[in-house]
Structure 1
Amino acid sequence: MPAPAHDAPAHAFQAPRPWWMRRTALIGFFILIMLPFLYPAIPPLTDLPGHMGQYRVEADHALSPALQQYYALHWHLNGNLGADLILLPLGQLLGLEPATRILIMLVPILTLLGFFNLARTVHGTVPPATLFAMPLVFNTPFLFGFVNYSLSMALMLNAFALWLRLGQSNHMALRAGLFVILSPLLWLCHVYGWLVLGLCATCAECARLSDRRWPSLARMLLRLLPLTPPFVIMAFWRGDGGSEHWNYNWSDKLVWIAKLVCDRWMFFDIASAVFLVGMLIFLLRSRLMRPDPRLGYPAIAMLALYCVVPSAFGGGSYADMRMTPYIIALGFLSFRPRPVAVSGSAASRLRFLPVLAVGFFALRCLGTTASFALSATVYNQALHAVAHIPQGQRVAAFVGRGCRTGWNPHRLDHLPSLALLRRDAFVNDQWNIGRTQVVQPIYFASTDPGFHYGQDPSQIVMAQPCGPAWSLDRSLAELPRERFDFVWLITPPAFNPHGLDGMTEVWREGAQALYRIPHDTPLPAR
């Protein structure tokens, strides 16, 4: 890669503002981003209902005897608290559900602002190539409901832009003072956001030094010191358990590239991933565009890290998948047109790029809107079921799945937590993953014979046993009925209805049904 003109935005002339950066176009982009959130009462992101249940525990634990019986709340410093800390005060002001809806909608908006801020900082404008990153605001980690991670990455993009801007203007003391504060806050939001900021900043500083003498390496390391305070926090912080399972699978890495924007329709999503990767390859090969190392080097470094990092380690999951949209996005952000005269046909191709990018962005936003609307139907049914559950009850929920993993994220996995959110109920879908949580399900102790029913993934059932997942028949047969008040079936697979003998159906809508377990009659023989 050619070295940039380092300490200033890389633009040699003042061009008029392009049409995609005018006010009407920007308003149009943000309206398109907000469209998917207008209809669903709760954004249908896979893990979000589970997180919202945790937010309820964090907000009301001291006021609810039921929550105190079912869940432990232990506040401690850890790098996974972004949305939790924001929603505590915001939920008190607006109500937890509206506040969560607003925060989730802000994540893709902040991500888009981060793309634009980085492009303007490095290039002095927003080049056409940047627009191809816009569809990645609805990326797979976001659709999976990785709330703190997605929020931290959105903030990371804007923080990285600030880092570069202050470096270009030679405000090193101001930058150092700001990032001594900002880096721990970003770590507190999610550790990955802070780690990626450190990687990007290091690569950008290396790009600044690429045409200078290596004795400047010491100066570069000194400039990076403001990003290191979280190391001090982690040196004194000790986790409280959690899985140390490691998993590395090269074939999965290829799958996650195909699932760059994995939403609902396999053909649409794969075609979109092929289009984005193809456009990035086109830009790499084009003589009309050139990459800036301050963004190109971070993209290459993240790609190298993606190739070697395990999918799961240290209690975390999908570590590699989370990086894919941001690798591609930084690749697009790094490109700008070469400042040379081009032929008429080449110029027309450059003029066509923003039209193609904006059209594709609009198509993906409309697709996401349709997908969210379809999911909202099932979510609304779930809210109707929750209305039939009294306050503080114990709910054994079972969500049907196929043995083979489908294409789209299974958005119903943590739907049962809506009963925790609205009824302070115990539900068996909450995570119990040790040090990354402040909320722990405690209704079933680890020595309890029914411990399986005390946490995720006991809510996921199949028609037949499949790997660690139980069949619905087994889950109903071994259910400790004396410990639960309701059974909630969500898109159940085929099962023997005798497993429900002795229960009373209190609600049914579509594939969802709610059964009461009477405790004043003898239990049926098993």
Structure 2
Amino acid sequence: MTGLTQVREKDWLQGLKAIWARAGALPWLSGPGILLCVLIVCLPFALVDVPPLIDVPGHMGAAAIEAAGPGNPLEKYFTWKWVFTLNIGGGVLMKVLGAQFGILAAGWWSTVLATGLFAGGCLWTIRMLNPRGGHAAAWSLMFVFSFPLLTGFLNYILATGLSLTAFGASLWLEQKNPRARAAMLIVAQPVAMLCHAIGGLLLALLVAAHAFGRAMDELPEGWRWRDLTNRQWLRTLDWKAIGLRLWQACWPLLATVVTILLWKAFSPPAKSMNVWRWDQKAWSFVLTLRDQSKLLDFGTSIIAGLLVLVGPFLGAKWRWRQGLPALTVLLLFIAIPSDINGSAFVDIRLLPVAAMLGLGLQDWSGARRPQWAKIVACLGMALLAVRLTVTAWSFAGYAEDYNKQLSALTHVEPGSRVLAFVEHSCLDESWRNTRRDHLASLASLYRQAWVNDNWAVPGLHMVIPRFRPGRNFTADPSEFVWSRRCAGGWRRTVETALKHAPIERVDYVWLIDTGLPRRADPRLQLVWQEGRSLLFKVRPLGIPTWKPKDF
């Protein structure tokens, strides 16, 4: 019986290999392989109710404000106004899902869907451009849980995932059905750009880069070494045919131009402020994979960089159509401002995409020794398994911490006004980020409470605060304070924040991971404490009643 089982298993494996061979792709780039990889990447989210990504609680709090119906206390504190802006993907998705499943489930599913599109779109692009040489695909997947996702830039991740997926679809349809490809691109570009301007712009960028790269690949063999001043050689090229091919590939990209023009015409005015932070661009190479372990994250970044640089000496190369998309995204990362119209860290978000494409589209099928390609694939899968295990372990720890911090809300009366201060993480103290930056926004979800943690940049966000207790205590980033070690002499500490805070105009003061302020305020009565986090109820004419635990 055992022998029969072994024979059947052998036949099954041989049949599976035959299917993969007919598909013309590596096993992990087959249809089932891509689906399995996406599911594995999304598994850590099964351990949490609130995805522990920095901005996601803020998105969920904003969704609670949008969904507030008549009689909800949030109505007297906030107004929600839908505007035509290129930053609404997560909000729309949460509204659609929240109407059926509730805001908590909508936040979870929105994050998982965006992550799945990000990973799946990356793998599909590799499958379409590098099916037999994508041995470094696992290295690409390591950049899914990178700065943009771990920071919780939900709109950007959703738009980028849509762009990568639509780009892969355009490559698949290019030969099968050019009309369907054009129609798909015309629809996909405005949708992706409405999710997020930069993430949506990647679709047009990738399509154009691939079209020009393909034109370069189709030039006669050895053209690089010819005398470009030889007019006779230049005349032998069919420039009309080349131009026609480029036009056929790129004319649907006019949809991106039309979307930008409509946005400029109908979006509300925004304060124009473009800032290039060159030190931030330099640091992003170090911080892109920042997660739980400095050694693991540094090591992964260094090895991935070496793989790109050393690969060509081992026979792994890019054709123009494979290398130009990654190079174009990298050049955009260098050229684009760091802050655009109130949106920060715009440039850093692009670096992981450039890394994903550069690694995944590096063709190892022509490696000088076949075992080198296998070693790259096996090491990548092993390291990816380690990183995903660490991510899952960290998610379980964040879930436990979130539950402890949110237990403070059981002491908050529904419809109250909560002034929150959270200690912002800095590298001088810890490589690991606490990811509590916008946890206070969940007070709007769980207790229908006002909190000073919402994004409210005019022309960019839909939340409009109606209750304004103080000039600088109405919306993000008024909730941030720094430890005494991180303050650096100019950033505010919790003591400085409380000194100027409009405490008499709120009902509670929630200190998240700040520790106990040095000076007692007679208006504050301690009602909850968990480690370095405290919740105070405001007493208009109270006397000092502090008896906090030592910590």
Distance of aligned partners of 1:392 and 1:228 in 2 relative to their CA distance in 1, 3 Å threshold: farther
Counterpart residue number, 2:322: 295
Secondary structure at the aligned position of 1:416 is classed as helix
Counterpart residue number, 1:199: 205
Contact 1:34-1:105 within 8 A present in 2 as well: yes
Distance of aligned partners of 1:278 and 1:453 in 2 relative to their CA distance in 1, 3 Å threshold: same
Counterpart residue number, 1:496: 518
Secondary structure at the aligned position of 2:415 is classed as coil
Counterpart residue number, 2:58: 50
Counterpart residue number, 1:260: 288
Secondary structure at the aligned position of 1:72 is classed as strand
Contact 2:419-2:508 within 8 A present in 1 as well: yes
Picking from 161, 174, 195, the partner of 1:167 is 174
Cα deviations by residue, 1:282-339 (Å, 9 ceiling, x for unpaired): 223322x221322310111111222222211232211210011110111122222345
Distance of aligned partners of 1:161 and 1:270 in 2 relative to their CA distance in 1, 3 Å threshold: same
Counterpart residue number, 1:516: 537
Contact 2:413-2:447 within 8 A present in 1 as well: yes
CA distance in 2, matches of 1:184, 1:385: 42
Counterpart residue number, 1:363: 386
Q: CA RMSD in A?
A: 2.6
CA distance in 1, matches of 2:328, 2:29: 29
Counterpart residue number, 2:335: 308
Aligned 1:21-32 pairs, distance under 5 A: 29-32=37-40
Q: Give the fraction of aligned pairs with identical amino acids, expressed as a percent.
A: 28
Picking from 73, 86, 89, the partner of 2:93 is 86
Q: CA deviation at 1:127?
A: 2.5
Q: CA deviation at 1:481?
A: 2.5
Residue identity matched to 1:332: L
Contact 1:207-1:297 within 8 A present in 2 as well: yes
Counterpart residue number, 2:420: 397
Counterpart residue number, 2:239: 214
Cα deviations by residue, 1:138-186 (Å, 9 ceiling, x for unpaired): 11100001001011111111110111122233x2222222222111111
Contact 1:382-1:418 within 8 A present in 2 as well: no
Residue identity matched to 2:452: N
Picking from 401, 426, 446, the partner of 2:450 is 426
Counterpart residue number, 1:452: 472
Q: Which moved more, 1:457-466 or 1:420-429?
A: 457-466
Secondary structure at the aligned position of 2:333 is classed as helix
Distance of aligned partners of 1:72 and 1:250 in 2 relative to their CA distance in 1, 3 Å threshold: same
CA distance in 2, matches of 1:504, 1:399: 19
Secondary structure at the aligned position of 1:209 is classed as helix
CA distance in 1, matches of 2:36, 2:244: 46
CA distance in 2, matches of 1:158, 1:69: 41
Q: CA deviation at 1:198?
A: 0.9
Aligned 1:88-487 pairs, distance under 5 A: 88-125=95-132, 127-169=134-176, 171-210=177-216, 211=219, 213-215=238-240, 216-217=242-243, 220-221=246-247, 223-236=249-262, 237-287=265-315, 289-338=316-365, 346-401=369-424, 407-444=431-468, 450-464=470-484, 466=488, 469-487=491-509
Counterpart residue number, 1:33: 41
CA distance in 2, matches of 1:228, 1:523: 67
TM-score calculated relative to the size of structure 2: 0.84
Q: Which moved more, 1:232-241 or 1:361-370?
A: 232-241
CA distance in 2, matches of 1:23, 1:155: 18
Contact 2:48-2:396 within 8 A present in 1 as well: yes
CA distance in 1, matches of 2:149, 2:502: 36
CA distance in 2, matches of 1:189, 1:135: 24
Secondary structure at the aligned position of 1:456 is classed as coil
Distance of aligned partners of 1:182 and 1:425 in 2 relative to their CA distance in 1, 3 Å threshold: same
Q: Which moved more, 1:297-306 or 1:464-473?
A: 464-473
Runs of 4+ in 1 over 4 A off after TM superposition: 13-19, 21-28, 402-406, 463-468
Residue identity matched to 2:101: L
**Equivalent residue pairs, number:** 499
Residue identity matched to 2:342: G
Contact 2:163-2:200 within 8 A present in 1 as well: yes
Contact 2:155-2:195 within 8 A present in 1 as well: yes
**Structure 1 unaligned residues grouped into runs of 5+:** 1-12
Residue identity matched to 1:99: A
Residue identity matched to 1:509: E
Residue identity matched to 1:156: S
Residue identity matched to 2:135: P
Secondary structure at the aligned position of 1:80 is classed as coil
Cα deviations by residue, 1:444-472 (Å, 9 ceiling, x for unpaired): 1xxx7x21111111111235565764221
Contact 1:46-1:145 within 8 A present in 2 as well: yes
Contact 1:488-1:515 within 8 A present in 2 as well: yes
Distance of aligned partners of 1:228 and 1:522 in 2 relative to their CA distance in 1, 3 Å threshold: same
Q: CA deviation at 1:366?
A: 0.8
Residue identity matched to 1:384: S
CA distance in 2, matches of 1:36, 1:511: 27
Residue identity matched to 1:362: A
Counterpart residue number, 1:9: none
Q: CA deviation at 1:76?
A: 1.7
Q: Which moved more, 1:407-416 or 1:429-438?
A: 407-416
Cα deviations by residue, 1:209-252 (Å, 9 ceiling, x for unpaired): 22264333365245423222343343243444544333323332
Distance of aligned partners of 1:107 and 1:126 in 2 relative to their CA distance in 1, 3 Å threshold: farther
Cα deviations by residue, 1:15-36 (Å, 9 ceiling, x for unpaired): 8764545788667634532332
Residue identity matched to 1:268: L
Contact 1:401-1:493 within 8 A present in 2 as well: no
Distance of aligned partners of 1:116 and 1:479 in 2 relative to their CA distance in 1, 3 Å threshold: closer
Cα deviations by residue, 1:246-283 (Å, 9 ceiling, x for unpaired): 33233322211112211132222111111211122222
Contact 1:111-1:153 within 8 A present in 2 as well: yes
